[in-house]
Structure 1
Amino acid sequence: MNDRLSYSSALVESLPAPHLLEIVTRHTGATICVVDNDLNILYANEAYANWFKARPSELLGRTLISLYSEAARVQFQPHINRALAGHEVTYQRQICGSDGQEVWFSISLHPWLDRDGQVGGVVNSALEVHELKVTTEALRAANQKLFSHMENSPLAVVELDAQLGLVHCSSRATEWFGWHHASHQGESVLNLVGEGARVTVLRKGLGQLLSGAERQNRVEASFVRPDGSVQHCMWFNSALINLRGETISIMCQIEDITERVAAAERLLHQAQHDSLTGLLNRGAFIVRAQEAVSSLDEADGATDGVVILFMDLDGFKGVNDCYGHHMGDTVLRLVAQRLAHVVRAGDTLARLGGDEFTILMRGNPSPHDLKLFIERLMQAFATPFALPDTDGVRVTLGVSIGVAAHPPLPAQVDELLTRADHAMYEAKRGGKGSVHYAVPSPV
């Protein structure tokens, strides 16, 4: 290393100063000129002179004012003035070449000092950066276009770093979630979304991208808004991977699917509920009963069991015959309301159709508790039902109940429901307001 330095020093010392200056100024790739305080050109290299289709010697003594147009002077004069005041100045501007083409240059102005230490003028060097400038401008325009798309998108857009820290979020993300990249810069999105089952899938999905197990995924998550309402979102997530296969960035595009979820829930509710009374329908009741049977703990028969009560109204046909089906529908809604006040928490009440209702009781109630519950059901019909818009007309109804329980019957929903139905008809034959058990009464 020392030998190289010694050789370089010896080479510099051996070169005449003019020759060394020529090497430096000709082979730097920059246009160079030196002016005094009056902007008279003291030196110009060949690259600088070529811009004016002249030789360097032809420019000596001329002023910058004479070489440039007034428009050009308006651009560079403030920078020249700063340099003459002793400041180093760097700026970029377009310069029109001899072919009429505008070319971008990076221009550096360095004040030079005379022997008294005063500013004697300026060294002007300009390096063509046209391709870089054009590329940079194209990139800036592309980024601006992308930013505009992000801001105008109906989706919220969130960019995360390799630690899931917030890098950028669109204004829609700010509107929906209250996040802002200025105030939440670098904060983990896991902290921002919070804990709980609503976001568990999102946390797992982002973890899959970080680990490299997936390159992209989509997950559904929901958030509680400040007003207490729930917002459902679909997150479309993609990972940016470097050459080493590491995730360095994650882009999340988030769609608000609250209305879609609400519509699906409405459809599900309609599919599972009786449109007249709002109670569960036959299909939903059977599903609930199957779930109850499937969850039975066979090892503890003393506490696990299910009971199905099948109810049919007594005297309801007379309501339809006397007052019409519209009033009959009203009475069915009133019956549903009274039954709903009787059933216990955890019981399932449903309307199977017509004037038939069922109740699913979980657990294995004692004979005494079951008897008290049935008595409360009967008592719900003790008060006549007032018919609206009929000048005080009231109708009295009763109910016949069939009971099927596991144990002792098999833990099969179809079997229990059928036996309860048959037991209800046996109760009908025994007289209005009767109860019949599918097995001998435990009472």
Structure 2
Amino acid sequence: MVGTPLSREGLCTMILFDAEACDGPLPVLTDSALLAVLGQLQGATVAVVDRGLRVVYVNASFARWFGVPGHELIGRRLPDLYGAVAAAAFRPHLERAFTGEKVTYQRLVQEPGGRSVWHTISLVPWFSERGELQGLISSALPVHELQSTNEALRDAHQRLRAHMDNSPLAVVEMDADLALVHVSSRGQQWFGWRVEQHAGRSVLDLPGLETPAGPLAEALRRLQAGQELQNRVEATHRHPDGSLFHGVWFNSALLDAQGRTVSIMAQIEDVTELVESTQRLRDLARFDTLTGLINRGALMAQVDQSLSRVRGSPQGGQVALLFLDLDGFKLVNDLHGHRAGDEVLQWVARRLASAVRQTDTVARLGGDEFVVLLDNAVSDAVVQQVLSRILAAFDDPFVLPQGPVRLGVSVGVAVYPQVEGTVDELVGCADQAMYEAKRAGKGMVRYAEVAA
């Protein structure tokens, strides 16, 4: 910034580059090359100094900075025009220029009126026609608006990055090929992705995506192709420590003037707690909380599906319902309390689950009533085998702290298609058959009557 009247504190150096140059006469500006350079600097604030930093030429813009006619500046040394503060700051630029290098840089300087303005400063070495270094040509052009805009953009970028890092969402930026460009600090924490390690790799190939990439890949592909500007997709991921979490990806595409996707940004929300809470609610609606068996509602739905499948199959098939009621359970509650009764019911559930086949279903309807559903490869012999194992499951007593307790079970059986009807009717028939078994004595089995 030598030779630009940017402030009284100045942009020059107090270093004397050539002491002898200060004692001789001022160079005469007859050099055609120099005059050609000066002619190209229209609109700039221009000064020419010799090797001793003496002003040999200024244009009107330079003179206006100092408020004096230009001829009064000729012969004065830059250290006399500018203060010492800037000397140390600009010494490196001057030294580089006096080695023959063209130097360009920017600086925020203060105008005479006190306004700070950004300028681009150029220091061009001035050589004589014989190739000898005579001095420097300094030109300054205001670039305040551009620099201010760049600073505003930089500040906005920094603020955006800060918001991204402080956001409860993970933010992932990709290019048009889905290659990772940036990941916020939360994204780094959740996925273990690092820009310095994973930049340039497709997000779909990075570790942590537990769910098959199909739905996510398809959602991102639609953005790549310009079919959508934004979409939403759920996916399951794995933290670096191995634990799973569920995420919702809110994706958006940035298009160029031709409508082509140039980048994609994803904001991922961790919905693990919501997913798990929803699953718990579903479990409460489907499972018995005491025994872990499915409840009445879930059983009725499954029986309905089984009947529909058998009825719609050309090969036909059978569906059997075994309705169980414990014998002697009321006495357990009366003698030992409901806590002991609950413990016995849990044991009963485990014994029934061990007695049936893996393809069979055990449900608790409530109280001491259970139902076993047989809907796979059901035959009369299979029904008898399962019944035998169920009855044998009650041969051993249930051991309580108060002592052993023996229970029996009464079973009513309804087999479709021998017993026709709706789900409710089939369950009702098995229930009625169970009461017939109760009346016949403990540990008895009765089949529902087949309609004539």
Residue 434 of structure 2 aligns with which residue? Answer: 424
1:386-414, Cα deviation, whole Å (9 max, x unpaired): 112x1xx1111111111222333347422
Residue 292 of structure 2 aligns with which residue? Answer: 278
Q: Are 1:364 and 2:374 matched, yes or no?
A: no
What code does the residue aligned with 1:430 have? A
Pairs aligned (count): 420
Q: Are 1:206 and 2:202 matched, yes or no?
A: no
| Distance (whole Å) between structure 2 residues aligned to residue 51 and residue 26 of structure 1 | 21
Residues 259 and 437 of structure 1, relative CA distance in 2, 3 Å threshold: same
Of stretches 162-171 and 225-234 in structure 1, the one that deviates more from structure 2 is 225-234
Of stretches 237-246 and 134-143 in structure 1, the one that deviates more from structure 2 is 237-246
Q: Are 1:347 and 2:360 matched, yes or no?
A: yes
Given the two structures, how large is their TM-score scaled by the length of structure 2? 0.86
Give the drift of 1:358.
Answer: 0.9
Residue 53 of structure 1 aligns with which residue? Answer: 67
1:404-443 mapped onto 2 (5 Å cutoff): 404-410=414-420, 412-439=422-449
Give the drift of 1:157.
Answer: 0.5
| Distance (whole Å) between structure 2 residues aligned to residue 292 and residue 71 of structure 1 | 91
Give the drift of 1:138.
Answer: 0.8
Q: Are 1:133 and 2:147 matched, yes or no?
A: yes
Confirm or deny: 8 A CA contact 1:113 1:119 kept in the other structure: yes
Give the drift of 1:184.
Answer: 1.4
Q: Which runs of 5+ in 1 are unaligned?
A: 1-15
Confirm or deny: 8 A CA contact 1:193 1:199 kept in the other structure: no
Residues 338 and 50 of structure 1, relative CA distance in 2, 3 Å threshold: same
Residues 291 and 249 of structure 1, relative CA distance in 2, 3 Å threshold: farther
Residue 237 of structure 1 aligns with which residue? Answer: 251
Residues 292 and 197 of structure 1, relative CA distance in 2, 3 Å threshold: farther
Q: Are 1:400 and 2:426 matched, yes or no?
A: no
Of stretches 142-151 and 344-353 in structure 1, the one that deviates more from structure 2 is 344-353
Confirm or deny: 8 A CA contact 1:307 1:364 kept in the other structure: no
Q: Are 1:174 and 2:180 matched, yes or no?
A: no
1:8-31, Cα deviation, whole Å (9 max, x unpaired): xxxxxxxx999x959964862211
Residue 93 of structure 2 aligns with which residue? Answer: 79
- The alignment yields a C-alpha RMSD, in angstroms, of 2.4
- Three-state SS of the structure 1 residue aligned to 2:66 is coil
Q: Are 1:38 and 2:52 matched, yes or no?
A: yes
| Distance (whole Å) between structure 2 residues aligned to residue 197 and residue 244 of structure 1 | 34
| Distance (whole Å) between structure 2 residues aligned to residue 23 and residue 109 of structure 1 | 12
| Distance (whole Å) between structure 1 residues aligned to residue 142 and residue 212 of structure 2 | 57
| Distance (whole Å) between structure 2 residues aligned to residue 191 and residue 66 of structure 1 | 65
What code does the residue aligned with 2:257 have? L
Residue 111 of structure 2 aligns with which residue? Answer: 97
Alignment partner of 1:373 out of 366, 380, 386:
386
What code does the residue aligned with 2:335 have? C
1:56-114, Cα deviation, whole Å (9 max, x unpaired): 33322111111112222232222111111222211111222121211111111122223
1:223-234 mapped onto 2 (5 Å cutoff): 223-234=237-248
Confirm or deny: 8 A CA contact 1:53 1:98 kept in the other structure: no
Residue 4 of structure 1 aligns with which residue? Answer: none
Residue 267 of structure 1 aligns with which residue? Answer: 281
What code does the residue aligned with 2:214 have? T
Q: Are 1:321 and 2:321 matched, yes or no?
A: no
| Distance (whole Å) between structure 2 residues aligned to residue 109 and residue 424 of structure 1 | 105
- Three-state SS of the structure 2 residue aligned to 1:28 is coil
Give the drift of 1:194.
Answer: 7.5
Residue 10 of structure 1 aligns with which residue? Answer: none
Give the drift of 1:243.
Answer: 2.8
Of stretches 270-279 and 248-257 in structure 1, the one that deviates more from structure 2 is 270-279
Confirm or deny: 8 A CA contact 2:208 2:240 kept in the other structure: no
- Three-state SS of the structure 2 residue aligned to 1:313 is strand
Residue 290 of structure 1 aligns with which residue? Answer: 304
Confirm or deny: 8 A CA contact 2:409 2:442 kept in the other structure: yes
| Distance (whole Å) between structure 2 residues aligned to residue 417 and residue 179 of structure 1 | 55
1:323-338 mapped onto 2 (5 Å cutoff): 323-338=336-351
1:142-192, Cα deviation, whole Å (9 max, x unpaired): 111111111111111101111221111011111111112222112112222
Residues 53 and 38 of structure 1, relative CA distance in 2, 3 Å threshold: same
| Distance (whole Å) between structure 2 residues aligned to residue 432 and residue 438 of structure 1 | 18
Q: Are 1:247 and 2:261 matched, yes or no?
A: yes
- Three-state SS of the structure 1 residue aligned to 2:313 is helix
Q: Which runs of 5+ in 2 are unaligned?
A: 1-29
| Distance (whole Å) between structure 1 residues aligned to residue 311 and residue 94 of structure 2 | 91
- State percent identity of aligned pairs: 49
Residues 238 and 98 of structure 1, relative CA distance in 2, 3 Å threshold: same
Residue 386 of structure 1 aligns with which residue? Answer: 399
